[in-house]
Amino acid sequence: KHWEGYGKGLVRLTPGRWLLPAPFLNFADKYYSFKFKPSDVVVMTYSKSGTTWMQEIVWTMRNNPELNHPMTNTHIFARSPFLEFDMITASSNTPPPLDHPLVQAFFKMCPGKNPLDGAQLQMTEVLPEPRTIKSHLPFSLLTPGLLDTAKVVYVARNPKDVCVSYYHQQRLVKVAEFVGDFPEYVDFWTQDLLLQAPYWPHLAEGWARRHHPNVLFLFYEDMKEDILRELGRLNTFLGTALTESQLQTVARHTSFSGMKSRGATNPTAALQESGEFKKGEAAFIRKGTTGDWTNFFTPELEEKFGEWMEKWRPTSEEIPFRYQ
């Protein structure tokens, strides 16, 4: 009763493991056998950990360091496809209408394909190289040989800020439409009863691969602290060889205010118009800070969260998050 979206319900894959929209089952084999290419970069995250930020960074570094690419103003969803988006649209009570600007952007990039009909996967398949692909799926649900072929940038964010950010997103997007308050949301979170839960095993799968030469494991908090330092690490990892001045351009272009002010990275207004985002809720590019959880967690909620962290030891102890 707390979610008015997810019309087709959720499915728990194995006890204690990934909770996903039921239509995942129709796509699981395709995700597990997706053919990655050597020039692919997968931006892999648990939701609300800075995915869109990293997609825009990676796409800009590889394609647009001078900001003169003809697709600069094309929506990030179309430049950098969301691998498992089809299972989300398929689960919705109200899939986006065909005349929606994003749907139209898909059509333009992928003539003849219907983005509401399993076509995000097809679009991803035919997208010209180099592809920057977003995925919230954990390593274990993706092609087993992924790292033998492609690169993965894994972005992690501390779970308290993820929880607050996710709460706002789930209230905002019609496909989820959470109608409870924050304490209720924390109840679901601490029982691992949220889409894509449980959090720690997803993180653990990324963390375990952090030394792999085709993985760059970054923290959202480090990006907030010193974006040029983290862009330098990306520059080496991606082999983009950008100059210092180009890195500064990328940093400005992908800054919170830069991304919030551009329709190509902040779809809030367009999606509110089309009805996919609920009016009166926080924007998709919302606050972009570390430590916002302190504005939402009461001592009781902190205690509950602490018990949940305890339950997921040793992983919750091992990953060195900063919470401020």
Residues recognised as catalytic: 136
Q: Under the criterion CB under 6 A, does residue 254 sit at the interface with ligand A3P? A: yes
Nearest-approach distance from CB 172 to ligand A3P, in angstroms:
10
Q: Which stretch binds ligand A3P (CB under 6 A): 49-57, 82-90, 231-239, 304-312?
A: 49-57
Nearest-approach distance from CB 260 to ligand A3P, in angstroms:
7
Residue 15: count other Cβ atoms within 10 Å of its Cβ: 5
Q: Under the criterion CB under 6 A, does residue 259 sit at the interface with ligand A3P? A: yes
- Compute the chain's Rg from CA coordinates: 19
Question: x/- site string to ligand A3P, residues 158 to 197, per CB under 6 A?
Answer: ---x---x--x-----------------------------
Q: What is the DSSP letter of 294?
A: G
Helix (H) or strand (E) holding 220: helix 220-225
Helix axes 101-109, 119-126, angle to 10 degrees: 40
Q: Which two tokens mark 200?
A: 């720690």
Among 27, 36, 52, 215, binds ligand A3P (CB under 6 A): 52
Q: How many residues bind ligand A3P (CB under 6 A)?
A: 20
Among 39, 288, 304, 312, binds ligand A3P (CB under 6 A): 288
Q: Which stretch binds ligand A3P (CB under 6 A): 195-203, 205-213, 252-260, 312-320?
A: 252-260
Instruction: Report 98-137 residues binding ligand A3P (CB under 6 A).
Output: none
Distance CA 79, CA 264 (A): 10
Distance CA 211, CA 75 (A): 33
Q: What stretches of the chain adopt beta strand conformation (E)?
A: 10-12, 19-21, 41-45, 132-135, 151-156, 215-219
Residues that bind ligand A3P (CB under 6 A): 45, 47-53, 161, 165, 168, 254-256, 259, 285-288, 292
